[in-house]
Amino acid sequence: MAWKDPRYLLPLALVIAMAVLPALLARRRMRRLLMSGDVERVLGTWEGTIQRVMYPETIAPLMAATAYASYGWVEAARNALTRAVKGPAWDAAIEQRLFVETLLDTFEGERETAMVKAAALEKLPMPAAGWFARKRVAMLRRGLGALVRAFSHESKPGDARTLTKAASASPLVHWAMRYAAAIVAVDHGDARRAAELLAGAPEWPKESAFRLYHDELAQRAVVS
């Protein structure tokens, strides 16, 4: 009808906007929340959804561990993992567990163990999902490997770009990837780039390892 009569174009555009806009706004709000670094608010937002999934006794602690690890709350993440009931859901969540444990091992200084787990994660079969989801999973897997190498000061060519892409691909691990990219920049003597990556970071609480990382990197990212 709109093709035949231009008068229908405006109503059609309004209907499409009313259908799409709420989802886009909700997605934007969630992205902003995830990048805020406020792990307690993130978990509060997830709580209702998590309790409705199968095996909440496993999934709820695992999701909490994912959030805590992504924001550098190492002790809280470890405690959450210990609360997860081991069973079918635990076995099925091998990718998520490897992701969380690799982050935690990296932040705890167990870099060799972290490298082994990151390599194991990259070798896992890709999930049976659409092209976009598979591409995102592949990017996060590569980003995690680059993060471990950055914290070990063993970055490879291209790692800085991989970390930047991974930071954009997932707001949940946005700051973890950016701090890793900042380490790469500092290691290469690019203080200006490191300062750019640190800009806009949240005020991390003392429970987060990111507070220490930020302070140390900020000192080394002073641009003369």
Task: Note whether 114 and 195 are same-domain residues.
Answer: yes
Task: Note whether 68 and 125 are same-domain residues.
Answer: yes
Task: Note whether 117 and 216 are same-domain residues.
Answer: yes
Task: Note whether 30 and 62 are same-domain residues.
Answer: no
Whether residue 107 has pLDDT greater than 90: yes
Residue for token digits 């929340």?
A: 33
Per-residue pLDDT tens over the stretch 113-128? 999 999 999 999 988 7
- Of 65, 37, 35, nearest to 210 by C-alpha is 37
Domain count, the chain: 2
The residue with greater pLDDT, 161 or 2, is: 161
Task: Note whether 198 and 119 are same-domain residues.
Answer: yes
Task: Note whether 32 and 52 are same-domain residues.
Answer: no
Task: Note whether 31 and 131 are same-domain residues.
Answer: no
Per-residue pLDDT tens over the stretch 37-78? 899 999 988 877 777 778 889 999 999 999 999 999 999 999
Task: Note whether 49 and 24 are same-domain residues.
Answer: no
Task: Note whether 64 and 137 are same-domain residues.
Answer: yes
Whether residue 2 has pLDDT greater than 60: no
Per-residue pLDDT tens over the stretch 5-48? 666 666 666 677 677 666 665 667 777 888 888 999 999 888 77
Instruction: For CA atoms 134, 118, 195, 210, give the dihedral sign.
Output: positive
Q: What is the mean pLDDT of residues 139-148?
A: 96
What pLDDT shows up at residue 49? 75
Q: What share of the chain is helix, strand, coil (3-state, %, to 5)?
A: 75, 0, 25
Task: Note whether 110 and 178 are same-domain residues.
Answer: yes
Whether residue 129 has pLDDT greater than 80: no
CA distance 188 to 199: 19
Task: Note whether 80 and 169 are same-domain residues.
Answer: yes
For 58, residues 6+ apart whose C-beta sits below 8 A from its C-beta are 84, 85, 86, 87, 89, 90, 93
Q: Distance of CA 141 to CAs 2, 51, 72, 83, 123, Å? A: 45, 27, 18, 25, 9
Q: Is residue 147 very low, low, confident or very high in pLDDT (cuts 50, 70, 90)?
A: very high
Whole-number CA gyration radius for the chain = 20
CA distance 82 to 123: 26
Whether residue 1 has pLDDT greater than 70: no
Task: Note whether 14 and 83 are same-domain residues.
Answer: no
pTM equals 0.86
Per-residue pLDDT tens over the stretch 185-209? 999 999 999 999 999 999 999 999 9
91 φψ region: left (φ > 0), alpha (ψ -120 to 50), beta (else): alpha
The residue with greater pLDDT, 206 or 221, is: 206
For 65, residues 6+ apart whose C-beta sits below 8 A from its C-beta are 77, 78, 80, 81, 84, 100
- Which range marks the domain in which residue 154 is found? 37-220
131-151 and 159-169 helices, crossing angle to 10°: 130
What pLDDT shows up at residue 224? 43
**In a 3-state reduction of DSSP, which class is residue 73?**
coil
Q: What is the mean pLDDT of residues 148-166?
A: 96
